[in-house]
Amino acid sequence: MKLLSGNSNTPLVEAIAAYLEIPITRANVRRFADEEIFVEILENVRGEDVFVVQSTSYPANDNLMELLICIDALRRASAKRITAVMPYFGYARQDRKPGPRTPISAKLVANLLTTAGANRVLSVDLHAGQIQGFFDIPTDNLFAAPVMSADILARFKGAQITVVSPDVGGVVRARALAKRLDNAPLAIVDKRRERPGESEVMNIIGDVSGRFCVLIDDIVDSAGTLCNAAAALKEGGATDVVAYCTHGVLSGAAVSRVEGSALRELVITDSIAAYEAAAASKRIRLLTIAPLVAEAIKRIADESSVSSLFD
């Protein structure tokens, strides 16, 4: 088994390598003066089971292209099996046609990965589970819920917890987390989105009065939805509000928005490398998914069950 790292999230790959007790495969991944990407694998990978770890986060196009070129280089070097490990799957939010004459970009990315030579894909908390169906190759979707639930139980044990979905679409995710928290009650924030990146909270479905609310979502981008939801929960009588999100995109003024919000804390995983502003924030905490991803890689290499990780 070989572990190859792209440039998007080196700290996560180093943590995965430490868990697996294997070295990161030596490779030269660099850019020419015109930003053209060049990849050279510096070790023999013929007949090897290779895992390429690369989140397609900002800059999404550069990181995606880097992953595709790494896969092509491995295929041409006669690797036996190539698994694209994408802790954060960019373009996942474009999983359907929201209007006429619009693309389904998540499907396009799936086609690109398959054409480049990937034999398998491993991701964490896909924005929509049906994206697995966009691939004609085996695709594993890991869930960060076990990591999050363990952290919540360790830090907030004894609190009267209510799990809250910030929108109707995230109810399945919230229910799965609530089940792990001793079947905690569930609430839903009903919102109306006027335009992309903005949201208006309408009302709360469920009783949150006197409860410790845990907001759960897969992606936090502008943080507008979470901050509005936190304010609404406080107005509804919640004693405190924390948010757990798998992918901390945190674009634009998201960090300052979190700093000035009703959120006690925003917890994100290291599926995306933390930016300086996020790392320096006292309201944002990082939770590692390295053991989860590493264990999944180990099980795929051993041809054993991945789904049993979540039993």
| Residue 176 assigned to a binding site | no
| Residue 72 assigned to a binding site | no
Q: Cα separation of 157 and 269, whole Å?
A: 21
| Residue 35 assigned to a binding site | yes
CA-based nearest residue to 300, from 39, 5, 52, 23: 52
Q: Cα separation of 117 and 110, whole Å?
A: 11
| Residue 140 assigned to a binding site | no
Query: What secondary structure letter does DSSP report for 24?
Result: B
Does 191 participate in catalysis according to the annotation?
Answer: yes
Contacts for 196 with CB less than 8 Å, ≥ 6 apart: none
| Residue 165 assigned to a binding site | no
CA-based nearest residue to 88, from 62, 115, 123, 116: 123
| Residue 36 assigned to a binding site | yes
| Residue 94 assigned to a binding site | yes
Beta strands in 32-144 (DSSP E): 37-41, 49-53, 81-86, 120-124, 139-142
28, two tokens? 């030269």
Query: Which of 80, 191, 234, 282 is the catalytic position?
Result: 191
| Residue 311 assigned to a binding site | no
| Residue 198 assigned to a binding site | no
Q: Which parts are annotated binding residues for D-ribose 5-phosphate? A: 193, 217, 221-225
Q: Which parts are annotated binding residues for Mg(2+)? A: 127, 167
Q: Which parts are annotated binding residues for ATP? A: 34-36, 93-94
Q: Which parts are annotated binding residues? A: 34-36, 93-94, 127, 167, 193, 217, 221-225
Catalytic residue set: 191
